[in-house]
Amino acid sequence: MTLDQIVQYLLPIAILLVFIGIGYAVKHFLKVYVTAFAKRTKSQIDDIILGAVKTPIVLILFLVGLNMALRYVSLPASIAQYVPLIFEVAIAAVAIFCTVKITSGLIRYWGVVRPSVKTIVPSLDKVAKFLIAIIGLMVILNSVGVSVTAPMAALGIGGIAIAFALQSTLSDFLSGVYLMADRPVRIGDYIELDSGQKGYVMDIGWRSTKIKELPNNAVVIPNSKLAGSIVTNFYLPEKEMACLVQVGVSYKSDLEKVERVTIDVAKKVLEKVEGRMKFEPFIRYHTFSDFSINFTVILRVKEYVDKYLLTHEFIKELHKRYRKEGIEIPFPIRTVYMKKEH
């Protein structure tokens, strides 16, 4: 065997081994140095991307090296003309695999950082994989010279037909995604809708949201309805909130004394009622009504439902103290003047 023949056989092998070596060197660099840097970051996104590309990078460089090595190998013309196409399809397939793995990892990570969306993570994962596979298949078919116009048109028409048929379901699904992403309500929040329903959010599903009312019954609300409603969230920006109690006293009352007595009662009630906050209560007079001077007592509770017990105890103690202090809580009075006719 001549030197030229030896070089002819060894050169392709050497080229292939060089690219394999480069691939493992890049993988080692990613594993040792880049991964160590990624672990110091708070986000897991970089770890997910690195985990998806570490092994495929070796395969991609192997395919590139094999493609270059085969250029120095005498192949039949009938086979040689398809070699670049085969490698193009193979690299595209590896790229699609990496994309699917990265997307799936990001969706699962989203479900970890946002526990409220964990119910729709499996569905989103499957949909994302399906869409990426379809797009990848179209790219591969187009690269091998197969027209994808007809399949794309068929998919478009089919998608429109499915969208019309499942319009309500898709609306609820997309609204559920919005609720889980934007998080105007969260599982465990106490909310009130503009339609009057209020309670604790039990679950946010892909089609509906369940609210548990205080009487221990559940209200199931389609996500599209919830997303389009005016919602009061009593847990945002925090659970702690004011508790307002409306009181009225007669016009003959000493308002300074009323204020002093009322605040004293409020302080004592706040000290003994569970769910109270360390808070200095106060009152604000606001209305001369038909038969009383009205004011608001401002208390504070840890969360919405605590206001019921606090209001209950406060009204009892205030009524008792007003009777002791001689402060009158008037009831509606109507004075009738009789006009005498001469």
Q: What is the rounded distance in angstroms from the CA atom of residue 246 to the CA atom of residue 229?
A: 29
Beta-ladder partners of 235: none
More confident residue, 247 or 11: 247
Beta-ladder partners of 219: 211
> What pLDDT score was predicted for residue 182?
74
CA nearest to 250, candidates 285, 297, 290, 292: 292
The dihedral over CA atoms of 200, 202, 204, 210, expressed in degrees to the nearest 10, equals: -80
> What pLDDT score was predicted for residue 258?
95
pTM: 0.57
Residue 260's pLDDT band, with cuts at 50, 70 and 90, is very high
Residue 121's pLDDT band, with cuts at 50, 70 and 90, is confident
Q: What is the pLDDT of residues 38-52, one digit of tens each?
A: 677 777 777 777 777
User: Which residues have C-beta within 8 Å of that of residue 39, sequence separation ≥ 6?
Assistant: 47
% the chain with pLDDT above 90: 24
CA nearest to 314, candidates 255, 243, 212: 243
More confident residue, 329 or 28: 329
> What pLDDT score was predicted for residue 29?
80
Tokens matching residue 25: 């060197």
Mean pLDDT value across residues 166-172? 65
Contact 265, 279 (CB under 8 A): no
- How many CB atoms within 10 Å of residue 53? 19
Tokens matching residue 87: 């490698």
Tokens matching residue 266: 């409020």
CB burial string 262-279: b at 16+ within 10 A, e below: beebbeebbeebebbeeb
Does 342 have pLDDT greater than 60? no
Q: What is the pLDDT of residues 75-99, one digit of tens each?
A: 677 777 777 777 888 888 888 888 8
> What pLDDT score was predicted for residue 277?
66
- How many Cα atoms within 13 Å fall on the side-chain side of residue 32? 6
- In degrees rounded to 5, what are phi and psi of residue 2? -80, 165
Q: Three-class SS of residue 287?
A: strand
Q: What is the rounded distance in angstroms from the CA atom of residue 141 to the CA atom of residue 147?
A: 7
> What pLDDT score was predicted for residue 7?
58
Q: How far apart are the first and last CA of the chain?
A: 147
What does the mean pLDDT of the chain come to?
Answer: 81
CA nearest to 259, candidates 281, 235, 242: 281
Lowest-confidence pick of 12-26, 112-126, 165-179, 250-264: 165-179
> What pLDDT score was predicted for residue 161?
66
Q: What is the rounded distance in angstroms from the CA atom of residue 176 to the CA atom of residue 207?
A: 6
User: Which residues have C-beta within 8 Å of that of residue 293, sequence separation ≥ 6?
Assistant: 248, 249, 250, 251, 253, 255, 285, 287
Lowest-confidence pick of 62-71, 183-192, 290-299: 62-71
More confident residue, 32 or 231: 231
DSSP character string of 176-232: HHHHHHH-SS-TT-EEEETTS-EEEEEEE-SSEEEEE-TTS-EEEEEHHHHHTS-EE
Q: What is the pLDDT of residues 296-333, one digit of tens each?
A: 999 999 888 889 999 999 999 999 999 999 999 888 76
